[in-house]
Amino acid sequence: MELAGTTTETVTAGKTYVAQFRVIYVHHNFQEYLRFTERFAEYLQVEYFDTPAGALEALKENYPADVIIAHDGSGGVELLDLIRNSAGFGNIPFVLLVDRLSRQAIDVARERNADDVFSVNFDDGDLITRIKYFKKRQWYVANKASQKIGSQGHKTPLWKRAIDVATTGTAVILLLPVFIIVAILIKLDSKGPVFYKSKRVGSGYKIFDLYKFRTMRTDADQLIRKMAALNMYSKAEPVSQIETQGLCEDCLAGNQCKSLLFHDGKEICEKLYHYQKEQKAAFMKFQNDPRITRLGSFLRNSSIDELPQLLNILKGDMSLVGNRPLPLYEAEKMTTDDKILRFAGPAGLTGLWQVTKRGKGKSDMTEEERTQLDITYAREFSFKMDLEIILKTFPALLQSENV
């Protein structure tokens, strides 16, 4: 059963499975990542980072993570603090990884508001069961919030719906050749569906699938593992020596090549240490390449991947003008009495806070500023206000910053 997001087909031991959840996995030890993905390939689509900075960048680029799993020795605690204090993704479920589960590790996880803590061997609990619980918790919050906002009597006026259908219907008809050509090219470029779907929360706290053209491979995690195997183990002898003895051939023969170093508690000669770093750097250099298809880069840079959202408007999921539909983990933070009113208004492609930001020349806005503008729109939107927002949006589209 698909609980949220887009499922991804994976092939393991000749069988086809559906990865139900997207995971950001942070660990400095690449071998731990390989072991993790081999163990949970049936259920998880894993995006690997060896530092918290990479994980944060992926989140800022709207990678739809269902859960973050980070090792405490790889900046996991620091990443947890950053996530919990984040305006945009502070409610993403977070699992802290430790080398050995202990009372101290549990206390740290509880103090820092982690959702759970596991040892790297995952021999002290069922990770998949916990992730399923996190998703069920999000759906429970969504159901309660939907009931709460329902009393506000939100409803899209006839004039607004008529404008949406007329303008969007015309646009879809005119752009139909583009849709067909892009769909064919996506199919020719890589295996997988034409459309990418992600769960969003819109008007009345209703959850819907937001459509985009697919720009990523569906087998990216499997491809990364294969590339890692080819790259990391193409020269088996040096790698084997690193893992077993930490000495190169010269050192083993009694001729110390360079000074010995201590790395991860082991003695390793400098020659092999740099070899290991070069191998990892070479892999990381092209690690992100297989995620994005050749066509996908063009679709993203040209914003053509966003065109299917016109179908969302035709379906009535959202409007041309309204409040930005939010990912589940971000919408969770908006269920308090002072913020939930932003869901009483329509969801939309462009809105009041986007053009307000542009009009004031702001490079960024605080969460509170955006929320208050969303609430203002939900309370006061009108034909005149929508028209003004649309007219202000067109000049912004010609500028480099995406609103």
HSE (CB half, 13 Å, CA atoms) of 318? 27
Q: Which helix (H) or strand (E) holds 212?
A: strand 207-213
- 23 φ, ψ (degrees, to nearest 5): -125, 135
Higher pLDDT, 317 or 90: 317
In the predicted model, what is the mean pLDDT of residues 184-197? Answer: 90
Residue 19: exposed, middle, or buried by beta-carbon count in 10 A (0-12, 13-18, 19+)?
buried
Contact between 355 and 403 under an 8 Å Cβ cutoff? The reply is yes
- 334 φ, ψ (degrees, to nearest 5): -105, 25
Higher pLDDT, 401 or 257: 257
Average pLDDT, the chain: 79
What pLDDT band is residue 386 in, cutting at 50, 70 and 90?
A: very high
What pLDDT band is residue 2 in, cutting at 50, 70 and 90?
A: very low
* Structure letter (DSSP) for residue 198: E
Residue 192, pLDDT score = 87
Query: What is the CATH number that goes with domain 21-122?
Result: 3.40.50.2300
Residue 8, pLDDT score = 43
Q: Closest Cα partner for 374 from 355, 359, 388?
A: 355
Q: Which helix (H) or strand (E) holds 272?
A: helix 270-287
Residue 233, pLDDT score = 43
Q: Can you tell me whether residue 337 is helix, strand or coil? A: coil
Residue 360, pLDDT score = 53
pLDDT at 248 over 70: no
Residue 365, pLDDT score = 73
β-strand pairing of 260-263 with 266-269? antiparallel
Residue 401, pLDDT score = 45
Cα 91 to Cα 264: distance, rounded to the nearest angstrom: 33
Question: Which residues is 19 bridged to in the sheet?
Answer: 8
Contact between 313 and 208 under an 8 Å Cβ cutoff? The reply is no
What pLDDT band is residue 140 in, cutting at 50, 70 and 90?
A: confident
Residue 197, pLDDT score = 87
Angle of the 383-397 helix axis to the 158-189 helix axis, nearest 10: 30
Quote the longest CA-to-CA distance of the chain. 85
| Domain regions of the chain by residue span | 21-122, 160-216+292-398, 220-284
Q: Which helix (H) or strand (E) holds 320?
A: strand 319-321
Cα 393 to Cα 379: distance, rounded to the nearest angstrom: 21
In the predicted model, what is the mean pLDDT of residues 145-154? Answer: 70
Lowest-pLDDT range, 39-43, 146-150, 260-264?
A: 260-264
SS3 of the chain: helix, strand, coil, percent, to 5: 55, 15, 30
- Residue 29, phi-psi category: left (phi > 0), alpha (psi -120 to 50), beta (remainder): beta
In the predicted model, what is the mean pLDDT of residues 106-125? Answer: 91
pLDDT at 73 over 90: yes
Residue 123, pLDDT score = 84
In the predicted model, what is the mean pLDDT of residues 383-391? Answer: 92
Contact between 346 and 323 under an 8 Å Cβ cutoff? The reply is yes
Residue 363, pLDDT score = 54
Q: What are the DSSP calls for 116-144, one per residue?
A: EEEETT--SS-HHHHHHHHHHHHHHHHHH
What pLDDT band is residue 16 in, cutting at 50, 70 and 90?
A: very low
- 209 φ, ψ (degrees, to nearest 5): -90, 120
Residue 403, pLDDT score = 41
Contact between 93 and 66 under an 8 Å Cβ cutoff? The reply is yes
CB atoms within 10 A of CB 200: 22
pLDDT at 383 over 80: yes
Residue 251, pLDDT score = 66
Higher pLDDT, 143 or 315: 315
Residue 284, pLDDT score = 45
Q: Which of 25-34, 70-79, 231-240, 339-348 has the highest mean pLDDT?
A: 70-79
- In sequence order, which residues have a C-beta less than 8 Å from that of residue 217 and are 6 or more positions away? 190, 191, 192, 223, 290, 291, 292, 293
β-strand pairing of 195-201 with 207-213? antiparallel
Contact between 177 and 275 under an 8 Å Cβ cutoff? The reply is no
Cα 350 to Cα 334: distance, rounded to the nearest angstrom: 19
What pLDDT band is residue 222 in, cutting at 50, 70 and 90?
A: low
- pLDDT tens per residue across span 253-301: 666 555 555 544 456 666 666 655 555 544 444 445 456 888 988 998 8
In the predicted model, what is the mean pLDDT of residues 312-339? Answer: 89
Lowest-pLDDT range, 14-28, 29-43, 79-93, 169-183?
A: 14-28
